Amino acid sequence: MKYDEKEIERLYLENLTRAQDLLGSLPVAEGRRPITKGLNGWIYEQTIRYCLCEELKELGTVPAMEEQVRLRGRVKVDMLVGKAAIEVKALGIFGNDAQKYSGHRVNAEEKGWSYFYLTRGESYSPYRTAMQAAFGEGRAFFLDTPGDWERFVMEVLKNC
């Protein structure tokens, strides 16, 4: 693998800092750096997309990659890579998210997609277990777990 969990974290933090600096340099910002979680999520999604694309190229495939793909109604998946519908979270989940994603999984599978969850990490054990149950065996990936990046890439590759 070209990347691992530590390198992805380094790239994410480096690019997040750069994005905050660049946004703070806009004349209307007057030197104030943005304080928003939305930027964190977007930078993390872009980091994952970039690293995944590089890994898949190394493995000899360049599948179609789309962002913010409609699942049903106003619900969207963060990324669609071949038939792998991927939810990417920089900060894990909150509250009843697992129940929501269980429903989304049904919709994804009705479209013929495999539904994946990838997060930087989840330290609260009940949430980790809930997401593993919501997404199914082998479809939840936590980048605070060594080896999960490689496992994620290989599972996505199977669905390209």
Please write the tens of the pLDDT for every residue from 39-87.
999 999 999 999 999 999 999 999 899 999 999 999 999 999 999 999 9
pLDDT of residue 137: 79
Contact 88, 48 (CB under 8 A): yes
- Provide the domain count of the chain: 1
Q: What is the dihedral of CA 135, 138, 140, 141, to 10 degrees?
A: -170
> 23 is in which domain, residue-wise?
5-158
Predicted confidence (pLDDT) at residue 115 exceeds the cutoff of 90: yes
